[in-house]
Structure 1
């Protein structure tokens, strides 16, 4: 199976499609493909196509999970949490961000950890605050 994405422009609207194809050819570099999906997802979210961006991030996350690529999984979860936040889905944003924080901690990635912790503190509404994560927790 090969995942392939298409970005189509029709009547002034961008449409994103993820196509799964069965091929007998050698698989392309799935890591680069998934990273491209994340860039596309980020662009879609930033241009107001939030649901399509979420779908691109979810597709990237699936590819990283199949490869057990924890670093890229953590980065994708962070991007996905932001997208959920833009979509108004606070519960999914918090849950996804907590997964990213846990992975960044496990990996010892301080930069990613700080970025995720900062993302979690941006919205101060009580129902959106991450209460199960302490920035002072080291392990």
Structure 2
């Protein structure tokens, strides 16, 4: 019985820590702007931020999306073919694997980008 109690407590703590991470990522910027609601899945490649590059709220995993093909509105605004979209929800995928994503893409300005500068950097986020 004691082992079962410890096991259940461990599961509860793991679930709570996952939710805590998600809330922290979600609250990094108060005013997110909705960019696009993805009602159908689009392909993305799971990537990892290289040293010295900005990352969102401690999360160095992002999705690389072909904006020219799948997000022409975003491509038209900034003329960048591949954009980085940081997932709000945790992912358990291999780096460089291709996945299909769907959800709400928002933009966020934050100073919590992992660099030594005090400026704000814009990020695209995906909430699935």
Q: TM-score, normalised by structure 2?
A: 0.24
Structure with the higher fraction of residues in helix conformation = 1
Q: Give the structure with higher Rg (CA).
A: 2
Structure with the higher fraction of residues in strand conformation = 2
